[in-house]
Structures are given as structure tokens and as C-alpha cells.
Amino acid sequence: MTGRARSVVLAYIGALNDGDVDRAAALVRPDFSNEHTSTLGRSVVGRDAYRIRLPQFLADFVGLHYAVEDVFADEDKVAIACVMTAQCKGADGMMRPIEMQGMFRFYVDGGLIARRVDYFDSAEFQRQVNP
């Protein structure tokens, strides 16, 4: 399943890069879990809850793009190292560009993403958005 899991995850990243909420949500299981390890991140459980929250996330991260640097796949597990870029509003209301390295771990089940774990540095985000 390594090749299939890799393809599903890359299609999902492509949907996020395109800002296509419906396509991204269609690639996750109904019991999807998105865990954020950073202090500022908010985890969510369930495709419906994720689908509801995704438009606001994309609005907060204008022009969101994940540039994939490396993909590691083993059976139903996929890890991606990437650079996230976007424009975000700081505490002063000013839009500022951000560029952060991070990682995702994905678990694929039945051709859909069952779990996503995000690793991004909240302190680095704050430093860039609120200099």
C-alpha cells in the first residue's frame, strides 16, 4: 500500500495548496483525527468538524502553500517534510509573510487519511507574525 498511501497524501497536500476544501475533506476518513503538537494548534476529530473548520484556517493563512521537500512512506504511514508559506495577520492587524519548516505524519486506512499529526513551531510563527 506504500505507493497508494503516498499518492493519497500528496493529493491531499495538493488540495490544500489549491484551497480546495471539498477535495481535501473527501480524502479523509469520517473519523479523521488532526492532531497539532504546537502550542497554538487546535486539534480536531471527525471529517465533518474538519470540513467546517478548514475554510477559516485557509482564510487565516492566505495563499497557504506547502512545498514538499521529502516524502517517506512505509505501508500505510507517510511522513512529509515541508516548508509552509502564507500571509497571516499579526496582533497589530498587519498582514505578514510567514515561512516555516515543518512535518506531517499521516496514517492511511482504506485509501483515505485516518490521522494527521502536525509538527510546526508556534514560537517561530509568533516571531514572524508579531515581530
- Report the percentage of the chain scoring pLDDT > 70: 98
Could you tell me the residue ranges of all domains in the chain?
2-129
Domain 2-129 has CATH 3.10.450.50: yes
Q: Is residue 103 within 8 Å of 80, Cβ to Cβ?
A: yes
Mean pLDDT computed over 17-40: 94
Whole-number average pLDDT of the chain: 95
- The answer, yes or no, to whether residue 41 has pLDDT greater than 90, is no
pLDDT at 58 (0 to 100)? 95
- The answer, yes or no, to whether residue 18 has pLDDT greater than 90, is yes
Cell of 53: 473548520
Concatenate the DSSP letters of all residues of 74-113 into one string.
ETTEEEEEEEEEEEEE-TTS-EEEEEEEEEEEEEEETTEE
- Residue 39 phi, psi dihedral angles, 5° rounding: -60, -40
Q: What is the band of 40 on the pLDDT scale with cuts at 50, 70, 90?
A: confident
d(CA 49, CA 40): 18
* Higher pLDDT pick, 43 / 27: 27
Mean pLDDT computed over 85-91: 96
